[in-house]
Amino acid sequence: MMMIRCQSEHSMRGKMFVITCLQNEASSGSDKYGSNLQMTYNPSFKPFSRDPSSESVVSLMSVASTTNSVSPPSTANRPHSITKEGVYEATQQGPVEELQLFGKRKSSIRRSARASFGRGYDGKGRPFQRHIQRLLLQSRGSREQLNRPVRFAPVKPPQIQLTPINFEVPHQEKVPLFVGREWLYKEVEKELYGEASHRGIVVTGGVGCGKTSIVEQLVDQSCFGEGKCGFLENKDLCQVTGASKSRQLGGSGNSSLSGSVNNSPSGTLSSNGLSSSQSSYLAASTLSLSFTYDALRTIASDVVAFHFCQADNNITCMVPEYVHSTAAYLSQAPQLSAYRDLLIQEPHLQNILSMRECIQDPARSFVKGVLEPLHKLHQDGKITVENCIILIDSLNEAEFHKPDYGDTIASFLTKHINKFPSWLKVICTVRTSLQDLTKMMPLHKISLDKIASNEHINRDLQDYINYRINTTLDVKNNVALNGKLESTTQMKFSSHLSALSRGCFLYCKLTLDLIEQGRIVLKSSNYKILPQNMAEVFLLHFNLKFPSLRSFEKVCPILNVCLASLYPLTTKEIYETVNSAYVQRYVPWDDFQQRMEVVSNFLLKRRDSSFMFFHPAFREWLIRREEAESTKYLCDLRQGHALLAFRLSRVNAPLGAEKTVELGHHILKAHIYKTISKQLGYSSRDMQAYWMCQSSENLSAALSNQRNVFSPNVKVSRLILLSGASPNAKTEFFSNAPILCVAAREGFVDMVSLLLEFHAKVDVPGDDGMTPLCHAAAKGHSEVIRMLFAKRAKVTHTDNAGQCPLVHAAINCQLDAVSMLLQCDWTKEGHVTLTEALLQSLVAATSKGHRSLVEFLLDMHELGHDGLNINNPDTLQGETPLTSACLNGNREIIGLLLRRGADPKSVNAKGLPPLLCAVKAGCWETVDMLLAAGVSIETSDRHGRTGLMIAASEGHLGILEMLLSKGMKRAALAQVDNEGLTALCWGCLKGHLHIAQSLLEHGAALEHTDNSGRTPLHLAAFFGDAQVVQFLMEQGAQIEHIDNNGMRPLDRAIGCRNTGVVICFLKKGAKLGPATWAMAQGKPDIMILLLNKLMEDGNILYKKNRLKDAAHRYQYALKKFPMEGFGEDVRTFKDLKLNLLLSLSRCKRKMGDFSSAVELASKAVDMKPKSFEAFYARARAKRDDRHYAAALQDLLEALRLAPNNRELRRLLVRVKEECKQQAKLERASSGVSLDHIGRDDFSSAGAVIERPKEETAL
C-alpha cells in the first residue's frame, strides 16, 4: 500500500535501519576493491507494533547483506570513463605515493583521466618518496649506517585545495569506437590556428548526432585521457582487411577505411569492438576511408580543461562548480604548470577559488582566480604556449537546472568570454534547438545538421553503417536478402538508413543493434520495417523488453526515481527509495535486483556505483513526447519526487540544511496532497509544511545556507518559511547579516518580497550596522528599495561607520538610488537629517570622483534644497566637497565645484583650506589649478602652517620646488607656525632627507630654534633618521645645543631609542651628560653603546699614556654601570664589566696603586673564574708589588686555563727566577728550597700544554 499522506504515528524522524558499510581495501598494487555491506535492524524505529517480518524492508536488506550480489563488483578499467580516479585525494593531505606525472620527458605521455593526481613532487618534477629515498641513501656513509634505524620527519608537499568534478559519460559497450568526423577536426584546427583565429568554436547538432563524442575524443587524446583512441586509421585497416578497393561514396572523392578498437567514451558514435572473428567479414570493396586524425591530436594536445554538463547530475550544471572544477583542471594541466605553482605560492588565490567563494560570487572567483592570473603569467613569460583550449559539452543540458537567480553556464560564458586571454580558446557544444544560448558569444559555428549542404556528414553516417555491416556477421546476414550481400544492396541499405537518421548516429547505432540481435528482420528491399525516428526506436526497444504493461510497472518506480533525482543514485539508495513508500510489504532484495537487471541496458552503472541513463535523448523520451508520438511507457516524475521525499524523511531524517532544501524541492514537485487535501480537512500547503517541519533538523539554517542565500529557490524558501523558519535568520556573510540583507544586496526581488511577506524586520542590521536598505542602496537595486520603503524602512539609519543609505548609494555612484532616497520621508527622527545626509553624500561623491552624481547633487543645491551649503564641512568626514576633492586629487571635480560656486577659502573641520589639502595630497596639478584660480600662496591653516611647511612635512619635493618658484623665498623659509617650526624643521621632524637638502640649498636657517628651543637637529634626532642627522652634522649643526628642557640632540635620540642616530652622535664625539644617563635608564641597548663609548675613550687615552684620564673614564663607566634591567643582554653586560675592571686594574698598576690593581683584578676573577686574563692581570699587579709567590700561583692558574699562551710562559720563567732570588735572601730564616717547587710546577705546566688548544694568545 502506497503511503500518500504523512502519518505522525510513523514518526518521520525515526530511523528505519542503521547501515554499516565495511569496505575492504585491496592491496596497493591492484586497482580492484571489494566492499561488504551490512545492514542491521534498529529497534528504536517502530512504525508498527509488530516484529520485522521477512517481507519488511529491514529484514529484506538484512538478508540481502548475506548474498554476494550486494557487494559491488570489482572495479575494472572502464575505457569509456572520462574522469580522474583519486582526484579528490589529490587535494587532501596524505601519504606520498610514487608516480611520475608530467616530469621532464622528450615525448608526450598520455595518461588516463582516471589516474590519480594525489601525489607529491619535488621541485624537479620527481616523486617525493623516491627523491627522499635517494637523499637518504646519499646521506649514509657505509653499509653499517644503512642498517641503522633512521627517523626523519614526513614530507608533506604543498597541496592544491581544488577538487575537479569526476566526469563520467555512461555507455552500453565496454569498448566503443569512433568513426568519421575528421573533417570537423580539420575545420576546427583551421579556425583556431589559422590567420583569422576565433575565440573558440561552437558545435551545434540535433539529438544523438555525436556532439559529446567529439568532445570526449579530444579529452581522451589530451593530457587527461589514456590516449587509447577508438577511431579508425589507415594503419588499422591493413591489419583488418589486408587490401582495399576504391569506390564512390556519396558523390565524393575516394578514401580507404581503417579500423581499430577504441576506448572512446561515445555512446552516439560507438559500436561493439572489432574481434578477430568479425574481421574476416570486412569487405574492402565497400569501404574506402582515409582517417589519420592528425588534426584531432593537434587540438587535443592544447586541451587544458574540460567540462561535461549532464542533466542527470545537477552539480555539473551549476556555475560555482564549473568555475571551481575548471580551475582545478587548469592547475593539473602540464601546459599551465606555472599556474599551479602560483596557486601554491599564493594561497589567497586558492581561497578565492574555494567553493564557498565560488558560490558567493562566481564571477569574481573566475576573473580574479583564473583569468587575471593566467593573463599575468603569460605577460611575464611564465606561460609560453601559444594556444590552450577549454572544452565544454552540452550547454543545453545545464539549462535543465536553471536557477531562479543567477547565471547558467551558457550565460556565464557569454558575460566573460571576451575577458579570456587571446591564447585561451573555447570549444563547446549545444543542441540545435537551443543554439541561441551561444548567439552572443564570439565563436565560430559548425553545424552537424546541414546534411544537404555538407557531404561529410552523410559520408560519416554511411561509413559507420558500412563498418557495422562488414564487422558484424549477424548484421551482414540480415541485410543480405538472398543469402549473399551485394555491394548495391549494402549501398542501398546504408543510404536508406542514413536518410532515416537525419544525421543522428544514435538512431543508426540502436537500429543496427536491433538488427544484430535479430529483433528486426529485413524481409524486403523497401525496408519499411525500420523505425522512422528515435521515438520509434525507443518504443521498439521497450516493446521487446516488456511483453506486458505489468512487467513495465515493476521497473517504472526505478525509472521514476532516477528521472526525478538531482544526482546519480547508487543501488542501495534506489532500493531504499523504491521501498520508502511502503509501510507493510516491501520489495524483496532479490526481486529488486532482477528489476535492476531488466533496465541494465538503459540505466548504466558508473565507476562510483551510481546509475545514469545511457543517453539524454532516452531520458527525455521517458519524460515527454511529441503530439503525434505514443504515450506508452511514459514515466511519472511526480511519483519519483514523492519516493525521493519519502526516503529523505523516513531514512535520513533529521535532515541538515542542504538536504532540507532538497526535500522541499521533491515535496513541491511531487505535490501528493493535491487531490486529497479537501478529504483530509487540511490545505496541501499546511501538510507540506508539517512534513518539512518533522523532517528538518534546523529550518532556519536551511533557509540561510549558502547556496540558498546566493542562488535562492523561492518556492522552496516559501515552503521552509511556512514550516517555521525565521525570516530574520542570520547568515555567515557580510558581517553575519540577516538573510533579508543579503537578498537586498544581491537584488533578489522575489526573495525580498517573500521575506517581507513573512514579516521580516526591515531595519534589523548585521554586525556592521548595515540594514537591508543600506545594502540595497549600495548596489542600486531600485525595486528592492521601493519594497523596503513600502514596509517603512528607516532612511535615517546609520551603520557603525556613521553612513546612512544615501551615503552608501553615493559612494557606489548609484544615481537612481540616490534620487529615490531623496524622495523619501526624512521628517522622522533618526541619526541624520536630510541636509546632513545630502552634504555627506556630496562629499562622498567628490572623494570618489563621481561627476554625474556630483552634478545631480549640485543641482539640488542650486534649487535651495533644505538649506544645503556646499562650503560647510560635513558631519561624517569633516570635509567640504572642495577639500574632499582636493585631498583625492580629482581635478575635474575641483573645476566643477569652482564653477558652481564653491569657495576656495572654505576650510574643513581640521581648519585646512583647499590649497593645503591639495598640497597634502601631493597633487601639484591641483595646486597649480587653485593658484591659477586666485588662491593666495601664503594661505595657512589655523595652526599657522603654510603650504611650504605641509609640503616639507609630507615629503612632496615637487610641490615644494613649485611653491618656491612661485615667489616663496627667504621670507617663506623663515616663516614659522604657532609652535615656531619652519619648513626645514617640519622636513627634519618627518625624516625627509631630500626636503632638508633642498631647503638648505635655498638658504633655510640651520640653527633656527622653535618655541621649545629645539633646532632641526633636535627634531631629526627625535624622528630617528640617521641619514638626515648625519647630513645636518656635516652641514655644521651644533650637536651640543641644549633646548629649554635641558636636552641635547643625543638625549632626544636616546629618549626615542633611535640607536642608529645615537651611534652617529657618539662617533661625532657628543658629550654624555646627566640627562643622557637619565634617558638611557631601562634601555639596555643604549646603555651598552654608552659604556662602550667610555671604554673606547679610555683605551685611546691609555695608548697616549694619559693614565689618569683613562682611569677616570673606566671608573666613570663602572660608576654608571646598571645594577639590573639587563634583559637579554646579560652576557654582553658581564663581558663589558669584566673588560672595564681589567682595564682599570691595568691603569692602577701603571700608576703604582698596586693594592687597587690587585683588588680590581680579584673582582674580575670572582666575576669570571675561568678568565686567564683576570689571573694574568692580578699576577702582574702582585709581581710589581713584589709578591712573587702569590704572582707565581696566579700565573700557574692562568697557564692552566690558557696553556698555549707564550706570554704567560715567558712571564712565568721571569717570576720563577725572581722567586729564587728572593728565596736566597731569605734562606737563612725560612730554610726552604724552591728547586723541587719549580720542577713540580713545570711538570704540571707541561701536562697542561699537552691539552688541546682552548684559548688565544693574551
* Euclidean distance between CA atoms 690 and 1021, whole angstroms: 77
Q: Retrieve residue 587's grid coordinates.
A: 520489495
Residue 229 is predicted with a pLDDT of: 58
Q: Retrieve residue 321's grid coordinates.
A: 562548480
User: Which one-letter amino acid corresponds to residue 210?
Assistant: G
User: 269 phi and psi, to 5 degrees?
Assistant: -100, 50
**Higher pLDDT residue, 1003 or 256?**
1003
Confidence of residue 290 (pLDDT cuts 50, 70, 90): low
Q: Are residues 526 and 559 in the same domain?
A: no
pLDDT at 1243 over 80: no
Ramachandran area for residue 1106 (φ above 0: left; ψ -120 to 50: alpha; else beta): beta
pLDDT at 776 over 90: yes
- 190, part of any domain: yes
pLDDT at 896 over 70: yes
Q: Are residues 221 and 333 in the same domain?
A: yes
- CA 1118-1123-1129 angle, 5° bins: 90
Q: How many CB atoms lie within 10 A of CB 642?
A: 26
Residue 124 is predicted with a pLDDT of: 38
Residue 1210 is predicted with a pLDDT of: 85
- 1103, part of any domain: no
* Euclidean distance between CA atoms 530 and 537, whole angstroms: 9
Q: Are residues 849 and 873 in the same domain?
A: yes
Give the end of a domain, one of 778, 803, 822.
822
Instruction: Determine the distance from the C-alpha atom of residue 643 to the mean position of all C-alpha atoms in its chain, rounded to a whole number.
Output: 39
Report the pLDDT averaged over residues 866-886. 89
* Euclidean distance between CA atoms 553 and 548, whole angstroms: 9
Identify the bridge partners of residue 3 per DSSP, sorted by sequence position: none
Q: Are residues 210 and 327 in the same domain?
A: yes
pLDDT at 25 over 80: no
Residue 1202 sits in a domain of what CATH number?
A: 1.25.40.10
Residue 174 is predicted with a pLDDT of: 73
Residues 6+ apart with CB under 8 A from 400: 311, 317
Confidence of residue 1228 (pLDDT cuts 50, 70, 90): low
The DSSP symbol for 435 reads G
**Between 657-670 and 714-722, two packed helices, what is the crossing angle to 10 degrees?**
100
Q: Are residues 461 and 442 in the same domain?
A: no
Confidence of residue 175 (pLDDT cuts 50, 70, 90): low
Report the pLDDT averaged over residues 220-225. 90
Give residue for cell 678568565: 1171
Residue 914 sits in a domain of what CATH number?
A: 1.25.40.20
Picking from 96, 162, 537, 212, the residue whose alpha carbon sits closest to that of residue 333 is 162
Residue 405 sits in a domain of what CATH number?
A: 3.40.50
Q: Are residues 627 and 505 in the same domain?
A: no
Residue 863 is predicted with a pLDDT of: 62
Q: Retrieve residue 885's grid coordinates.
A: 576633492
Q: What is the CA radius of gyration of the chain?
A: 45
CA atoms within 13 A on the CB side of 61: 29
Give the end of a domain, one of 494, 509, 530.
530
The DSSP symbol for 367 reads I
**Between 684-695 and 637-650, two packed helices, what is the crossing angle to 10 degrees?**
40
* Euclidean distance between CA atoms 381 and 1150, whole angstroms: 73
pLDDT at 246 over 60: no
Give residue for cell 556528414: 457
| Range scoring the smallest mean pLDDT among 24-28, 326-330, 826-830 | 24-28
Ramachandran area for residue 213 (φ above 0: left; ψ -120 to 50: alpha; else beta): alpha
Residue 372 is predicted with a pLDDT of: 96
Q: Are residues 920 and 845 in the same domain?
A: yes
Q: Are residues 866 and 902 in the same domain?
A: yes
Number of domains in the chain: 6
Q: Give 415-449 pLDDT, tens digit per residue.
A: 999 999 999 999 999 999 999 999 999 999 999 98
| Range scoring the smallest mean pLDDT among 844-858, 1052-1066, 1116-1130 | 1116-1130
- 211, part of any domain: yes
* Euclidean distance between CA atoms 648 and 640, whole angstroms: 12
- 1100, part of any domain: no
Q: Are residues 556 and 523 in the same domain?
A: no
Residue 596 sits in a domain of what CATH number?
A: 1.10.10
Report the pLDDT averaged over residues 190-218. 89
Give the end of a domain, one of 788, 822, 856.
822
CA distances from 452 to 250, 455, 456, 458 (A): 11, 7, 10, 8
Residue 1171 is predicted with a pLDDT of: 87
Q: How many residues does the chain have?
A: 1258
pTM of the model: 0.75
Say if residues 710 and 318 touch (Cβ distance below 8 Å): no
Give residue for cell 593537434: 298
Picking from 567, 574, 576, the residue whose alpha carbon sits closest to that of residue 19 is 576
pLDDT at 79 over 80: no
Q: Give 554-565 pLDDT, tens digit per residue.
A: 999 999 999 999
Strand, helix or coil for residue 459:
helix
* Euclidean distance between CA atoms 886 and 892, whole angstroms: 10
Residues 6+ apart with CB under 8 A from 592: 575, 578
Confidence of residue 967 (pLDDT cuts 50, 70, 90): low
Q: Are residues 599 and 733 in the same domain?
A: no
- 985, part of any domain: no
- 254, part of any domain: no
Q: How many CB atoms lie within 10 A of CB 987?
A: 33
- 694, part of any domain: no
Residue 749 is predicted with a pLDDT of: 96
Q: Are residues 509 and 576 in the same domain?
A: no
The DSSP symbol for 161 reads -
The DSSP symbol for 399 reads G
Domain that holds residue 216: 182-225+294-447
Report the pLDDT averaged over residues 474-494. 84
Say if residues 848 and 840 touch (Cβ distance below 8 Å): no
Q: Are residues 517 and 570 in the same domain?
A: no
Residues 6+ apart with CB under 8 A from 934: 904
- 1069, part of any domain: no
